[in-house]
């Protein structure tokens, strides 16, 4: 089993001060999987979002360094996969602009014998990382 992490789950895993870091890290550590995957979209999204100095206190250079360190030293190995899917691979359930990246990542996961792992609801074929109901556990 392989999981392609979407942007939000990669950020939550890699940024320890993220409100959902423990949830994602615990799920990943409890998984019995071959590996976790990233791709250009998820890695660039990680750097783009965390590189917002006003929100996260780091710039693009620091966000890039954080991701490279995470990939190098992660207890859970992150494997980069190439993206060969163009717009013709976009699934028919994509009906609006907000679904385009989700649809692309879901198809990319399928093309790599993986499942898209996300914190979002409503993405066909994706695995929603479970929410912890009791944060004290």
Q: What angle do CA 39, 40, 41 make, to 5 degrees?
A: 95
Flag whether 14 is in a domain: yes
Are the C-beta atoms of 85 and 76 separated by less than 8 Å?
no
Query: Who contacts 130 (Cβ-Cβ below 8 Å, separation ≥6)?
Result: 23, 27
Flag whether 136 is in a domain: no
Flag whether 113 is in a domain: yes
Tell me: the pLDDT tens digits for 39-77?
999 999 999 999 998 888 899 999 999 999 999 976 778
- Residue 49, domain CATH: 3.40.50.1010
Flag whether 137 is in a domain: no
Tell me: the pLDDT tens digits for 75-100?
778 999 999 999 999 999 999 999 99
Flag whether 17 is in a domain: yes
If you write DSSP's letter for every residue of 2-17 in order, what string do you get? Answer: EEEE-HHHHHHHH-TT
Flag whether 110 is in a domain: yes
Question: How many CA atoms, within 13 angstroms, populate the side-chain half-sphere of residue 116?
Answer: 26
Paired residues of 80 in beta bridges? 38
Flag whether 135 is in a domain: no
What is the distance in angstroms between the CA of the first residue and the CA of the last residue of the chain?
26
Overall number of domains in the chain: 1
Exposed/middle/buried for residue 1 (C-beta within 10 Å: 0-12, 13-18, 19+): exposed
| pTM as predicted | 0.91
Domain hosting 52: range is 2-128
């Amino acid at each position: 089993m392989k999981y392609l992490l979407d942007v939000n789950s990669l950020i939550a895993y890699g940024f320890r001060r993220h409100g959902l870091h423990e949830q994602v890290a615990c799920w990943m550590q409890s998984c019995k999987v071959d590996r976790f995957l990233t791709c250009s979209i998820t890695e660039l999204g990680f750097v783009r979002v965390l590189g917002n100095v006003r929100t996260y206190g780091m710039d693009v250079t620091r966000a890039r360094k954080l991701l490279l360190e995470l990939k190098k030293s992660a207890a859970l190995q992150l494997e980069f996969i190439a993206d060969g899917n163009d717009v013709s691979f976009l699934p028919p359930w994509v009906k609006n602009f907000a679904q385009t990246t989700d649809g692309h990542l879901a198809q990319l996961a399928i093309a790599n014998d993986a499942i898209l792992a996300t914190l979002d609801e409503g993405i066909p074929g994706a695995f929603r990382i479970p929410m912890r109901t009791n944060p004290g556990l």
